[in-house]
Amino acid sequence: MKKTTAYFKKAKEEGKKLSMLTAYDYSTAKLEDAAGIDGILIGDSLGNVIMGLEDTISVTMEDMIHHSAAVARGAKNTLIVCDMPFMSYQVSPQDALVNAGRLMKEGRANAVKLEGGQEVAQTIRTIVDAGIPVMAHLGLTPQSINAFGGYKVQGKSEAAAQKLLDDARAVEKAGAFALVLECVPATLAAKITQALSIPTIGIGAGAGCDGQILVYQDMLGMFSDYTPKFVQRYANIGAIMTEAFEAYISDVQSGSFPKPEQSYKMDDSVIDKLY
């Protein structure tokens, strides 16, 4: 059965942990879906892991729609959440609503995610009131990297921790159905989780969150530019891929690929008639 935002709500009520991963294409989404993942995020992290950009700032609506539509074709049972890229929701709530609508209509997402707290509360309300579920995102919000001055753990001082808690309450009040907490000390994330009735999904936010999310290339060892401390590697697919690529190159060079069984046949008499 298709997992929805209602499934996420019920999971929080029942204390059942939620699992999420990113995906950006049909084949990966299909594999994650078959494995039973609860939610797939088409993260704007695609700027880093798919497009090779140094941050998420240049990711466009068209990029997000393109990848979201591919994921939606592959994942039939999981909740599909699509990131709103930088500047697609900051200008005005109306602008944000138009863009959220495009991610739903053209990207076939079931929900959108945007970064920020009290400053985006009105935007969240406007989108939610139009029938589009919103996942909020607090802590280390990569679209604000230039304001943060680097990828750093957030909420360590009393003032910063209180602001995070206030922001979390504000996005819940505005109607968000879930909240991603990124790079937040575990004890603070646990406190926020207890204070909210919506599920928190942690990434570098400890075990006290209601669920977890990872970028799939990180957990499969497919992205080596940098690996955040919070990543747990479940397989080393990058090394397996490199080995397979090397074996293929060597087989092509030696002529041992393709073999007769990988080739198509035809009647030799036809070939003999050719001049």
Q: From the list 203, 205, 209, 220, which residue makes contact with ligand KIV (rule: CB under 6 A)? A: 203
Q: From the list 83, 167, 210, 218, which residue makes contact with ligand KIV (rule: CB under 6 A)? A: 83
Is residue 215 a contact point for ligand KIV (CB under 6 A)? yes
Contact track, ligand KIV, 102-141, x by CB under 6 A: -----------------------------------x----
Q: Which one, 48 or 126, has the nearer CB to ligand KIV?
A: 48
Is residue 45 a contact point for ligand KIV (CB under 6 A)? yes
Q: How far is the CB of 46 from ligand KIV (least distance, A)?
A: 7
Cα separation, 135 vs 160, in Å, equals 21
Q: Which one, 164 or 203, has the nearer CB to ligand KIV?
A: 203
Phi-psi region of 66 (alpha: psi -120 to 50; beta: other; left: phi over 0): alpha
Q: What angle do CA 238, 239, 240 make, to 5 degrees?
A: 90
Secondary-structure breakdown of the chain: helix, strand, coil percentages, each rounded to the nearest 5: 45, 15, 40
Q: From the list 39, 43, 107, 221, which residue makes contact with ligand KIV (rule: CB under 6 A)? A: 43
- The answer to whether residues 113 and 81 touch, using CB atoms and an 8 Å cutoff, is yes
Cα separation, 261 vs 111, in Å, equals 46
Residues that bind ligand KIV (CB under 6 A): 22, 41, 43-45, 83, 137, 180, 182, 203, 213, 215
